[in-house]
Amino acid sequence: QEDGHARVLRRQVEETLRGSRMVAVCQYNSMPDEDVAALRHFLRKHDIHVKFVLNEVVRPVLAQSKYRNLLPLFVCRNILLVSPETRAREMLRVLKGVPQVNLLAACIDDTILSRQGVENFARLPPLEVSQGQTVAALSLLSSQTSSLLQRGPAHLTALLDQHIRRLRDAEGPTEPPPG
């Protein structure tokens, strides 16, 4: 019977991991129940869900999944923060006010990140902004090249114009006015 229950728990963990782009592993230290409820509430606002996990249940599931490199983290009491999105900034902001929960590492979009890695990831600008910045940087180079290439002929044109004007001014007084 116990094995059946463990099997159900394991399947739940598998399903949770399957549907998540972000899986953060945190050490859980004693917290009053109201604080746990508040933590769940604030994280849920950002579509991040708190899952209490037992190491005996979670370890076999991880060992056979792409998360096997997270296995060393599963000693002592842990919780998983899972989300179908990758809102690391919001997660860190909520966790800042909860010293009893210590972020150990996370797996975001199939990439395992240390705590520092998650902080760096959170500081990245959104994808559209990054794409805009890349396009701007690339087009800056080509517009600089274009203006560099035009400088020679433009200078030559200006010099020729000035020369023509000087010639005209020199001939000017002898030419009859037009019309």
Partner 1 sequence: KMASKMRVALRPVKSIVVRFCPFEPNVESTRKFLQCIYHKKIQATNTNCEVTADVRHDGSEPVVDVTFADGDRLIMKGANLTTGEMLTALESRCNAKDLKEEQKSKKRNP
Q: Does 96 bind partner 1 (CB under 8 A)?
A: no
Q: Does 111 bind partner 1 (CB under 8 A)?
A: no
Q: Does 120 bind partner 1 (CB under 8 A)?
A: no
Burial class of residue 112 (count of CB atoms within 10 Å of its CB; 0-12, 13-18, 19+): middle
Q: Does 138 bind partner 1 (CB under 8 A)?
A: no
Site size toward partner 1, by CB under 8 A: 21
Nearest by Cα to 29 from 95, 79, 73, 96: 79
Q: Does 72 bind partner 1 (CB under 8 A)?
A: yes
Q: Which two tokens stand for residue 61?
A: 């599931």
Q: Does 99 bind partner 1 (CB under 8 A)?
A: yes
Smaller CB separation from partner 1, 12 or 31 = 31
Question: Coil, strand, or helix at residue 119?
Answer: helix
Q: Which residue has the tokens 């792409």?
A: 66
According to CB under 8 A, which one of 12, 16, 86, 100 is a site residue for partner 1? 100
Smaller CB separation from partner 1, 99 or 176 = 99
For the bound state, the minimum distance from the C-beta of residue 74 to partner 1, rounded and expressed in Å, comes to 10
The rounded distance, in Å, linking the Cα atoms of 65 and 168 is 85
Q: CA separation (Å) from 56 to 22, 29, 84? A: 22, 18, 25
Q: Does 23 bind partner 1 (CB under 8 A)?
A: no
Find the radius of gyration of the CA atoms of the chain.
32
Q: Does 116 bind partner 1 (CB under 8 A)?
A: yes
Contact residues for partner 1, defined by CB under 8 A: 25, 27, 29-32, 72-73, 75-77, 99-100, 102-105, 114-117
